Amino acid sequence: MAEYTLLFRMKIHEGKVDRFLEIMREITENTIKEPGNIVFELRRDPRDANTFIGFHSYVDKPAFDVHYNADYHLGNGPALREAIAEIETTELGSVGYCAALMRAERREA
């Protein structure tokens, strides 16, 4: 499987966390409905309430591209960019071990 994962760390501007979380909830609700989405996680850094770390995995890079170009993702772009002070991303390839995929494969077998 050509799984594709994007790891991200976002520092949110002071006073923008609530708006950021609203936007991310909408994006997440749509993301988990995407056929190529395996998992989406967003976590708050326990040491810094304005920093969030997360990742989302897809069956392949084209599935991620569908997500990235989706109306609900792009439509939130300006407000999301306004909330984010810093962002770091890392692309991760597959090593073949993903709990969500392994569970799905077991269900299909």
What CATH number is attached to the domain comprising 16? Answer: 3.30.70.100
Question: What count of other Cβ atoms lies within 10 Å of the Cβ of residue 36?
Answer: 17
Question: How many domains does the chain contain in total?
Answer: 1
How large is the average pLDDT for residues 1-29? 91
CA geometry: angle 73, 79, 85, nearest 5 deg: 105
pLDDT of res. 87: 94
pLDDT of res. 2: 61
pLDDT for 45-69, tens place per residue?
999 999 999 998 898 899 999 998 8
pLDDT of res. 105: 75
pLDDT for 74-105, tens place per residue?
777 888 889 999 999 998 876 666 676 677 77
Structural domain that includes position 55: 4-108
